[in-house]
Structure 1
Amino acid sequence: MSIKTKLKTFFFLDEEYDENEDEEYVEEVQPVRQQKPPAKPQNVVSLQSVQKSSKVVLVEPRTYSEATEIADHLKNRRAVVVNLQRIDNEQGRQIVDFLSGAVYTISGEIQKVGDKIFLCTPDNVEVSGNITEALMNGKEFQDTRW
């Protein structure tokens, strides 16, 4: 081979026909997967869980055995208003004692909101404000400022 032909082949100026040039070159393209960022602890609360936890159950037990149903509502993170006006004093006291233990177990609260009416709340419900002692005892509240 001469230098001239070597240069032509080097710079592709040679008109030699290569049979493989007619075949199409197909490159396989693999889809690019986006990598997820590393998992971060989320400080987001689902609105559905907030809606479920804002349920309040009103209960008027007739027997002591219904206290376990009230405790089940508290375990399911629902606030419960318990009206004990239609039950005798001894069973009412036993229900309040049982509910006090149940509320303590779930780190909740129990508050008296009226005569023989109690509000039991789990730890996800916050109660603010006070009922005045005069209203709870059935006395009329007289405000001297008016």
Structure 2
Amino acid sequence: MSLKNKLQNFFYLDDEEREVEAPKTSTRQQEEKTPVREQPKKMNSRRQTAPPREPSQPATVVSLQSAQKSSKVILVEPRVYAEAQDISEHLKNKRAVVVNLQRIDRDQGIRIVDFLSGTVYAIGGDIQRIGTDIFLCVPENVEVAGAISDFFEQ
């Protein structure tokens, strides 16, 4: 078989019908033999069809909500503890949040970090310190790679 034929067979480019013969067993069967016609399989280059399912198998539903939305990173500079709930809403909506706590009282900043740590734990995300009083909070669909050195002034 030539390379051209192999490529045609691989991509199903040959549009002609093929005749498939049954193996020879006896002369009488050979006389009664009728050719079996086989249609070549054609595949759509954009979409492949799935094989038919058994009636007992339920249809699988896949949510495309996360694929349709674009990823966002929210920058937040809270001034009061009450804004911690707004930050956690962003995390629950699968958005990464950078929290700058430099303009808030230290005690309230600690409380916000504690609240966000609980939120991040509940959604399976991650929280990392990326600067002096600056934290990165990400949900489970965001992966953080790399590290920033721990040379912080305190």
Looking at structure 1, the residues matched to 60 and 96 of structure 2 have their Cα atoms a distance apart, in angstroms, of 29
Q: Which residue of 2 aligns with 1:108?
A: 125
2:85 to 57, 60, 68: 68
Question: SS of 1:58's equivalent?
Answer: strand
Percent sequence identity over aligned pairs: 62
Question: Which consecutive segments of 4 or more residues in structure 1 shift more than 3 A?
Answer: 39-42
1:59 aligns with 2:76: yes
Structure 1: 5+ residue runs without aligned partners? 1-35, 139-146
Alpha carbons of structure 1 residues 85 and 52: separation in structure 2 relative to 1, 3 Å: same
Alpha carbons of structure 1 residues 53 and 126: separation in structure 2 relative to 1, 3 Å: farther
**AA matched with 1:81:** V
Aligned residue-pair number: 99
Q: Is the 8 A contact 1:53 1:124 kept in 2?
A: no
RMSD: 2.3
Q: Which residue of 2 aligns with 1:126?
A: 143
Give the stretch that moved more between structures: 82-91 or 48-57: 48-57
Looking at structure 1, the residues matched to 102 and 70 of structure 2 have their Cα atoms a distance apart, in angstroms, of 27
Cα deviation, residue 50, structure 1: 3.4
Structure 2: 5+ residue runs without aligned partners? 1-50
Cα deviation, residue 49, structure 1: 2.3
Q: Which residue of 2 aligns with 1:17?
A: none
Compute the TM-score of the two structures, normalised by the length of structure 2.
0.58
Q: Is the 8 A contact 1:78 1:122 kept in 2?
A: yes
Cα deviation, residue 54, structure 1: 1.8
Greater helix percent: which structure? Answer: 1
